[in-house]
Structure 1
Amino acid sequence: MEKIKSNDPLHGITLQQVVEKLVSHYGFDTLSELIKIKCFSSNPSIKSSLTFLRKTEWARKQVEDLYVKSINKF
């Protein structure tokens, strides 16, 4: 049986992996300029960002969209 390859660039990637990749590439300072959410600008950490993003759909979408746009830069 042949495996079907997903065209979704987020397929198989956790939110934690997305946030860690963005933070390692941009840093929290640049990330807070690109996405205006407090968890990136006020006392930022991966853990607090994940907590906020898991509860806040619109913010998570912005982070995932930036990740997809940035994939070729990693």
Structure 2
Amino acid sequence: MNNEQPNNPLHGIKLADILEYIVEYYGWETLGEKIKINSFNSNPSIKSSLTFLRKTPWAREKVEQLYLKTKSKQNP
């Protein structure tokens, strides 16, 4: 295992995988309620959401934090 970022729980996890996981877990409607961004509420798609998240650090941070919170509930 690569030890470049040993304290980063997201190291090695692709943004696409994170987004697909939380969309599968919550669904677009609930996700749009939890994180208020247009790409989740208006014609949502993985592709459009990834484009937005890659350009918008604050939104990406919210998605990553929701992913970590959701995963921690799954694996206490």
TM-score (ref. length: structure 2): 0.86
Structure 2 CA distance for aligned equivalents of residues 3 and 9 of structure 1: 13
Deviation at 1:3, TM superposition (A): 6.0
Structure 2 CA distance for aligned equivalents of residues 25 and 33 of structure 1: 14
Q: Which runs of 5+ in 1 are unaligned?
A: none
Residue 25 of structure 2 corresponds to residue 25 of structure 1: yes
Seq. identity, %: 58
Is the alpha carbon distance of 1:64 and 1:3 closer, same or farther for their aligned partners in structure 2, counting shifts above 3 Å? closer
TM-score (ref. length: structure 1): 0.88
Residue 12 of structure 2 corresponds to residue 15 of structure 1: no
Deviation at 1:11, TM superposition (A): 1.1
Structure 2 CA distance for aligned equivalents of residues 3 and 22 of structure 1: 25
Structure 1 segment 1-74 matched on structure 2, within 5 A: 4=3, 6-74=6-74
Deviation at 1:6, TM superposition (A): 2.1
Q: Which runs of 5+ in 2 are unaligned?
A: none
| Number of aligned residue pairs | 73
Deviation at 1:8, TM superposition (A): 2.0
